[in-house]
Amino acid sequence: MFVSKLRPTDSFGVVTFNDQGQVIVKGSKKSEIDIENVFALVDSIKTSGGTTLSSGFKTGQLVL
């Protein structure tokens, strides 16, 4: 996964969306993130609902 290629000062976060956005990993510097936990969280994401892309964008903007 590309997360392992980030520099310690790079920021990273994960937002999923269907009809609503949901923060999976709050935006943080790589040095502050437990990478193994991120991999586990990403692996646990399941598809569901619709594809309201704006929900994901709006949620992502709130956590930066």
pLDDT-based confidence at residue 1 (cuts at 50, 70, 90): low
Please compute, for residue 62, the number of CA atoms within 13 A of its CA located in the half-sphere on the CB side.
Answer: 11
> Model confidence over 11-64: pLDDT tens digits?
888 888 887 888 888 888 989 988 889 889 889 988 877 777 787 778 777 765
Phi and psi at residue 60, in whole multiples of 5°?
A: -60, -40
Residue 43 CA to residue 45 CA, distance in Å, equals 6
> Measured over all CA atoms, what is the biggest interatomic distance in the chain, rounded to whole angstroms?
35
pTM strictly above 0.85 = no
